[in-house]
Structure 1
Amino acid sequence: MPTYLYAITKSDHPLHLDTLKGVGEPAAPLRSVAFKTLAAVVSDAPEGLRAKRRDVLAHQGVLEQLLTEGAALPMRFGIVGPSDDAVLAALREQHDPYARRLEELDCCIEYNLKASRDEDDLLREILSGSEQIRELNELTRNGTAAHEDRMALGELIAGEVSAREEEANKALTSRLAASALRVSPADPPKGSFLNVSFLLKRDDAPAFSEAVHGEAERLGDAYHLRLNGPLPPYSFV
């Protein structure tokens, strides 16, 4: 029977697995597979598992409960092993690295921040800062621009957008990183210039949220900051 994996914890974690519901319908009972100081929280893997809302919420609920009572290495939704024996073998082979990471993540949570900027506001800033771009833009607007002029305008604007978004990304990340234990950047989604996760001690979360709020006020209405958390520390496992 394939084994579905939720998280790795310390073997002395309270667990309380009888109060939790696993993935599948009906919900699969949870159990633990232990080796030395580690325990993996698992269940039978249902056939044809898909990222349905019920199962995603069940997975998330198990992680949230585990994290409220101790350190856990959260697995992303859909991790399935061949059997409990295969999970046990993984715990045996990676015992020391897993144990060290559990110590690092004890009492820690993750916040993810995405940021975007109003396109018209950015374009106005680019136009005001470059006479060449203004001239090419005016030629394009009045219909007198040659093909080469339109190509040059597009390349210049794209270069300015990339440079300014990269600068804003680095500056914002740097200011907020001072409040975090670790930072994990990722590729921003379309329309955003920043996608970064911050690892925090749970007690530092309110101050971090306030810092993000302060950045939003400082940057103004042209910027949109979207903070998601607290989350299990997926990005730092």
Structure 2
Amino acid sequence: MSAELATAVDPAAGPQPLLVYGVVRSADTGADRLDGLAAELVDAGGLAAVVGEVDPGRMRVRRADLLEYNSVLDTLAGRGPVVPVRFGSVLPDREAVAEFLTQQRDQLAAALDHLTGRRQYNLRVSYVEEVVLAELVAEDPEIRELRARTVAAPGPASYGDRVRLGELVARALENWSVQDGQALLARIAPDVAAYRVRSTSSATQVLDVALLIDDARAEEVVDRLEDLAREHRDSLRMRLVGPLAAHDFAKDAGWA
């Protein structure tokens, strides 16, 4: 989860409210750190918050705002360590931002140390449905029998069998996905700095995990994941997204 900051904006107030994207080290903020970004820095004691201006009269959050937030943080992460601050975190002025940095300096500095040279990748794995269903039919006599009966007698006459078949298939897929997800994670875990399961396995999802990968090993680890995808290409679909800002590891890294 990203670092969290309470929203505190009075639309009638004079000072310019600021959206806080993330926190970086002041020493890492060279002239090119914000190139191409509609953002500025607020420094306080060795840390700097990356902020953008907010229109106090526009309270609705648009999808474009979330896309911009992610784009800014991912760009920053490509240029050095950044601790993401939770989307939508707004403070009323620069003084309030500086106070936030001062109050949380130790935790934010520890998080930056942990994330230095590392970025997040998100991996999602799902079954190739037709292949896995064929395996279920071949391995489970009850599923095989129910499937044969529903094929032979489609329509209202087989309603009870179809309901039972759906229940058995869903339960079997959930069991298989848990086992297969754990097996995949055991193969992946030794190659990454950390991982965090984003959502549990289900009948439709084998694995949804965030991986914290050292930049120095990123190419090697991605190659290994591609080898794993080729190994299981008949039964699994694997999708890797990254590199990204380390949203899922900010709290693990020392932010409370």
Q: Same fold, TM exceeding 0.5?
A: yes
The letter for the 2-side match of 1:8 is V
**In the alignment, structure 1 residue 199 sits paired with structure 2 residue 212:** yes
Distance in 1, Cα, partners of 2:174 & 2:74: 38
Correspondent of 1:117 among 110, 121, 127: 127
Distance in 2, Cα, partners of 1:88 & 1:178: 39
Provide TM-score, normalisation by structure 1: 0.85
Task: Give the 3 Å change call, closer, same or farther, for CA 45–190 of structure 1 in structure 2.
Answer: farther
SS of the aligned residue for 1:183 comes to strand
Question: 1:234 corresponds to which residue?
Answer: 247
Correspondent of 1:43 among 39, 45, 52: 52
Offset at 1:170? Answer: 1.4
Offset at 1:43? Answer: 2.4
Question: 1:26 corresponds to which residue?
Answer: none
Question: 2:254 corresponds to which residue?
Answer: none
Distance in 2, Cα, partners of 1:69 & 1:18: 9
Distance in 1, Cα, partners of 2:203 & 2:51: 35
Offset at 1:153? Answer: 2.1
The count of residues paired between Structure 1 and Structure 2 equals: 228
Correspondent of 1:31 among 40, 48, 64: 40
- Larger RCO (CA under 8 A, 6+ residues apart): 2
Question: 1:84 corresponds to which residue?
Answer: 94
The letter for the 1-side match of 2:215 is R
Distance in 1, Cα, partners of 2:199 & 2:121: 16
Distance in 2, Cα, partners of 1:61 & 1:128: 47
SS of the aligned residue for 1:109 comes to strand
Task: Give the 3 Å change call, closer, same or farther, for CA 126–68 of structure 1 in structure 2.
Answer: closer
Contact residue 131 and residue 234 of structure 2 kept, 8 A: no
Contact residue 181 and residue 201 of structure 1 kept, 8 A: yes
Question: 1:136 corresponds to which residue?
Answer: 146
SS of the aligned residue for 1:186 comes to strand
Offset at 1:51? Answer: 2.7
Listed as ranges, the gaps of 5+ residues in structure 1 are 23-29
Question: 1:21 corresponds to which residue?
Answer: 37
Q: Which runs of 4+ in 1 moved over 6 A?
A: none
Offset at 1:63? Answer: 3.1
Listed as ranges, the gaps of 5+ residues in structure 2 are 1-15, 251-256
